[in-house]
Structure 1
Amino acid sequence: MLILYRISIKAYYFGIWLASFFNPKARLWIEGRRKQKLVTLNESIWFHFASLGEFEQGRPVLEKLKAENPAVKTVVTFFSPSGYEIRKNTPLADYVYYLPLDTRRNAKLFISTIKPKIAIFTKYEYWYFYMDELYQREIPLYLISAIYRPQQIFFRSYGGFYRNMLLLTQHFFVQDEVSKKLLADINIDEATVSGDTRFDRVWENAQTVKPLETIAAFKGESKVFIAGSTWPTDEDLITNLILIYPKWKFIIAPHEISKEKISNLLEKLPAEKTVRYSEIPTDSNLLHQKQVLVIDNIGLLSRLYQYGTIAYIGGGFGAGIHNTLEAAAFGLPVIFGPIYQKFKEAQDLITLNAGFSIVNEASLENIVYQLINDDNFYFRASANAKNYTQQNTGATNKIINYIRSHQTF
Structure 2
Amino acid sequence: MSTYLYRFILYPLLFILAHIYALFNKKIRKALRKRYSVLGEARQIRKRSSARPVLIHTASMGEFEHVKPLIKTLKKRYNRPVIITFFSPSGFEFINNHEDVDGFLYLPFDFTQTVKKFYSILEPQMVIIAKHDVWINQVLVARKMNIPVYLINASLGATSSRTGWLARRILKPAYESLTGIYAISKDDAQTFKQYFNRAEVKAIGDTKFDQVLIRKEQALKKQLLPPGWERDAFVIVLGSIWKEDSAKILNPLKKLMKKYPKIKTIAVPHDPSKEFVSMLSKELNDIGVRLYSEVQKDFTERILLVDRIGILADLYKYAHLAFVGGSFKQGIHNVMEAAVYGIPVLYGPTHQNASEAVRLCKTGGGFVFNTAEEFENYVERFLLNEAERKVAGQKTQQFALDNINATEKLIKEWMGTVNLIPGSK
Report the TM-score when normalising by structure 2.
0.89
CA contact (8 A) 1:154 1:163 kept: no
User: Of the candidates 291, 296, 304, which is equivalent to residue 307 of structure 2?
Assistant: 296
User: Of the candidates 245, 256, 268, which is equivalent to residue 244 of structure 1?
Assistant: 256
Alignment of 1:206-285 (within 5 A): 206-209=216-219, 210-214=221-225, 216-240=227-251, 241-245=253-257, 246-270=261-285, 273-282=288-297, 284=298
Secondary structure of 2:119's partner?
helix
C-alpha distance in structure 1 between counterparts of 2:32 and 2:60, whole Å: 16
- Indicate yes or no: 2:81 matched with 1:69: no
Secondary structure of 2:177's partner?
coil
Post-superposition Cα deviations, 1:296-334, rounded to whole Å, max 9, x if no partner, equal 111111110111111110001111000000000001211
Q: Amino acid of the residue matched to residue 401 of structure 1?
A: K
Distance change >3 Å, CA 384–CA 272, structure 1 → 2: closer
CA RMSD of aligned residues (A): 2.0
User: Of the candidates 391, 399, 414, which is equivalent to residue 403 of structure 1?
Assistant: 414
C-alpha distance in structure 1 between counterparts of 2:160 and 2:255, whole Å: 43
C-alpha distance in structure 1 between counterparts of 2:12 and 2:329, whole Å: 26
Post-superposition Cα deviations, 1:118-177, rounded to whole Å, max 9, x if no partner, equal 011011011111101110011111111112233446655553342221121111111122
Secondary structure of 2:36's partner?
helix
CA contact (8 A) 1:249 1:291 kept: yes
Distance change >3 Å, CA 336–CA 28, structure 1 → 2: farther
CA contact (8 A) 1:311 1:334 kept: yes
Post-superposition Cα deviations, 1:231-285, rounded to whole Å, max 9, x if no partner, equal 0121233322134223211111101012222222222111671011111143x1x
CA contact (8 A) 1:170 1:190 kept: no
* Structure 2 equivalent of residue 319 of structure 1: 330
How far apart are residue 187 of structure 1 and its match?
4.1
Identical counterparts, % of pairs: 29
Distance change >3 Å, CA 343–CA 12, structure 1 → 2: same
Distance change >3 Å, CA 152–CA 360, structure 1 → 2: closer
Structure 2: unaligned runs, 5 residues or longer: 420-424
Task: Choose 72-81 or 9-18, whichever is displaced more.
Answer: 9-18
Alignment of 1:112-191 (within 5 A): 112-152=120-160, 159-185=168-194, 186-191=196-201
CA contact (8 A) 2:131 2:151 kept: yes
* Structure 2 equivalent of residue 344 of structure 1: 355
Secondary structure of 1:189's partner?
coil
* Structure 1 equivalent of residue 11 of structure 2: 9
Task: Choose 89-98 or 217-226, whichever is displaced more.
Answer: 217-226
CA contact (8 A) 1:155 1:163 kept: no
User: Of the candidates 46, 59, 68, which is equivalent to residue 68 of structure 2?
Assistant: 59
- Indicate yes or no: 2:392 matched with 1:387: no
Q: Amino acid of the residue matched to residue 278 of structure 1?
A: S
C-alpha distance in structure 2 between counterparts of 1:279 and 1:153, whole Å: 42
How far apart are residue 39 of structure 1 and its match?
3.4
* Structure 1 equivalent of residue 422 of structure 2: none
Structure 1: unaligned runs, 5 residues or longer: none
* Structure 2 equivalent of residue 194 of structure 1: 204
Task: Choose 52-61 or 23-32, whichever is displaced more.
Answer: 23-32
How far apart are residue 218 of structure 1 and its match?
3.1
C-alpha distance in structure 2 between counterparts of 1:231 and 1:85, whole Å: 21
Distance change >3 Å, CA 216–CA 28, structure 1 → 2: farther
Secondary structure of 2:229's partner?
helix
Q: Amino acid of the residue matched to residue 41 of structure 2?
A: L
C-alpha distance in structure 1 between counterparts of 2:233 and 2:418, whole Å: 52
